[in-house]
Amino acid sequence: MSSMAQISEVTTHITESSCAHLYYVSEEMKDLNAALKIIQHLESEGVLRRSDPLIGIGGGVLLDVVGFAAGLYRRGIPYIKIPTNAMAM
């Protein structure tokens, strides 16, 4: 899927109730605690299984951690990856 197609898909899910959370991750911080931090945020926001997408925008490490957290949190949660560098594609 092209980046423009991914961005189009993201914008269809943005509503007034959407929220964002910024995470700083590096290769050294790529561990279970980083994923649990994301899961705690998802839980506190009441993210639903199939109707609330999780959108990761960033490099490879961030997309790895967000994808792992999505898989742990809810099976089948929509997960949209938007890579910001060539290595993340």
Name the percent of the chain lying above pLDDT 90.
15
**Quick one: pLDDT at residue 59?**
87
User: Using one digit for the tens of pLDDT, what is the confidence trace for 47-86?
Assistant: 876 778 888 888 889 999 999 999 998 888 888 888 887 7
**Quick one: pLDDT at residue 45?**
83
Residue 49 · residue 35 · CB < 8 Å: no
CB count within 10 Å of CB 89 equals 10
3-state secondary structure of 80: strand
**Quick one: pLDDT at residue 53?**
83
**Quick one: pLDDT at residue 36?**
93
What is the C-alpha separation between 28 and 43, in angstroms, rounded?
25
